[in-house]
Amino acid sequence: MKKYWISATALLMGHRALGMSLFVLGRLDEACGHLREAIELYDPVRHAPLALVFAQDFKASTQAYLGLATVVAGRVEAGLGHCHQALAHAEELRHPHSICYVLPFMTGAYLAAGRAEEALPLAERTIALSNRYVFPQWQAGGLMLRGWARINLGEPAAGVEDVRIAIAGLEATGSLIWMRFAQFQLARGLAMSGDRQAATELIAQSLRYLAATSGRWYEAEIHRFKGELIAAGDGPALDAERCYEVAIDCAKRQGALLFQLRAMNALVSLRNTRDKGSALEQQLALLCNELGDQPNLGELTQAAALLSR
């Protein structure tokens, strides 16, 4: 029987590729496990020079993915810590493309955590560095992230403009999965600008794309936002509730506890006081206990307020 020897480098690359793919599919627990395995296999002496061959450092890019995945999984400070470590490592290597790889994930992690003010300068740095070194994919990504930040900060017109330019750039570079995510942000910006019809059409389009593609890590957020559109448009409350319920189920299945908490808050808030002490509120309390003490997580503060009505 032949024996096959697999190098540590091949194992690292395998765990890294699998972890990244599982993240995009929305299988967060599995993704984080493989990404951690890849980081543990990283040997600076052996692997740091490979950044010149593969255009990105294995550890920096892997830890950037791990950071965003960990934030979405509800461990916000740990996830941001991974992002900062990834950036510090890339900067120590003085490898521009690795730095520009990490920065968008770090920015996205702050935005996913609801910390747009801290994300905005990171998005600006992404754009500046990408322009300097002519990295069109990260330039488009930086614009999308700046648009996301501006939308969250209450500047929808500026945000929509950034995201529209980003979509064209992402389409030109073939980054279709991230382009779909940019379209979700465009829908949010259009809704905030008052064009709920266009936003509703984009969300319906996004859900059709999700049914046929692998970019599912933010699926729960699309269903939650669809519920917000229905509620804001004075649509049937039961339709909005159903969207929130689908978002909760999706986030729970994926291990996206941050998105699960966000959707549960929306559902409890919509039902207001008519379900005081309901099974849903009990589930919300359990989820808050699972997430623990995270004083910078606004969703936990909101949940506490809802539970203490």
Query: In the structure, what pLDDT confidence band is assigned to residue 274 with cuts at 50, 70 and 90?
Result: low
Residues 6+ apart with CB under 8 A from 110: 80, 116, 118, 119, 122
Does residue 206 sit within a domain? no
Query: In the structure, what pLDDT confidence band is assigned to residue 271 with cuts at 50, 70 and 90?
Result: confident
Rounded to two decimals, what is the model's pTM?
Answer: 0.94
How far is 96 from 116, CA to CA, in rounded Å? Answer: 24
Does residue 150 sit within a domain? yes
For position 1, what pLDDT does the model report? 43
In this model, does residue 276 exceed pLDDT 80? Answer: no
How far is 63 from 193, CA to CA, in rounded Å? Answer: 36
**Can you say how many angstroms the Cα of residue 135 is from the centroid of all Cα atoms in its chain?**
21
Same domain, 144 and 190: yes
Nearest to 60 by CA among 116, 103, 123: 103
Same domain, 98 and 28: yes
In this model, does residue 4 exceed pLDDT 50? Answer: no
Average pLDDT over residues 277-292: 91
154 phi-psi bin (left φ>0, alpha ψ -120 to 50, beta other): left
CB burial of 187-215 (b: ≥16 within 10 Å; e: otherwise) equals bbbbbbeebbeebbebbeebeebbeeeeb
Last residue of a domain, one of 58, 90, 114: 114
Same domain, 104 and 28: yes
Same domain, 39 and 108: yes
For position 275, what pLDDT does the model report? 58
Selection from 51-55, 149-153, 215-219 with the highest mean pLDDT? 149-153
Query: In the structure, what pLDDT confidence band is assigned to residue 238 with cuts at 50, 70 and 90?
Result: very high
For position 13, what pLDDT does the model report? 96
Q: Containing domain of residue 171, as a range?
A: 127-199
Structural domain total, the chain: 3
How far is 150 from 107, CA to CA, in rounded Å? Answer: 13
Does residue 247 sit within a domain? yes
For position 273, what pLDDT does the model report? 52
Same domain, 109 and 135: no
Same domain, 28 and 109: yes
Same domain, 195 and 136: yes
Does residue 65 sit within a domain? yes
Query: In the structure, what pLDDT confidence band is assigned to residue 211 with cuts at 50, 70 and 90?
Result: confident
In this model, does residue 32 exceed pLDDT 50? Answer: yes
How far is 291 from 174, CA to CA, in rounded Å? Answer: 37
Residue-wise pLDDT tens digits, 127-142: 999 999 999 999 999 9
Same domain, 160 and 91: no
Residue 173: CB atoms within 10 A of its CB come to 16
Average pLDDT over residues 217-238: 93
Residue 126 tokens read as 């992404």
Average pLDDT over residues 236-251: 95
- Contact 262/224 with Cβ under 8 angstroms? yes
Does residue 75 sit within a domain? yes
How far is 6 from 231, CA to CA, in rounded Å? Answer: 54
Query: In the structure, what pLDDT confidence band is assigned to residue 236 with cuts at 50, 70 and 90?
Result: confident
Lowest mean pLDDT among 100-109, 203-212, 238-247: 203-212
Same domain, 110 and 131: no
Dihedral over alpha carbons 5, 6, 8, 11 (to 10 degrees): -160
Share of the chain above pLDDT 90, in %: 85
Does residue 205 sit within a domain? no
Q: Roughly what angle, to the nearest 10 degrees, separates helices 28-41 and 58-72?
A: 150
Same domain, 101 and 133: no
Last residue of a domain, one of 79, 114, 149: 114
Nearest to 179 by CA among 170, 192, 190: 170
How far is 161 from 255, CA to CA, in rounded Å? Answer: 33
Last residue of a domain, one of 68, 83, 114: 114
Does residue 70 sit within a domain? yes
In this model, does residue 73 exceed pLDDT 70? Answer: yes
Same domain, 235 and 260: yes
For position 207, what pLDDT does the model report? 92
Residues 6+ apart with CB under 8 A from 99: 60, 87, 90, 91, 129
Residue-wise pLDDT tens digits, 143-199: 999 999 999 999 999 999 999 999 999 999 988 889 889 999 999 999 999 999 999
Average pLDDT over residues 72-82: 98
Same domain, 97 and 156: no
Does residue 121 sit within a domain? no
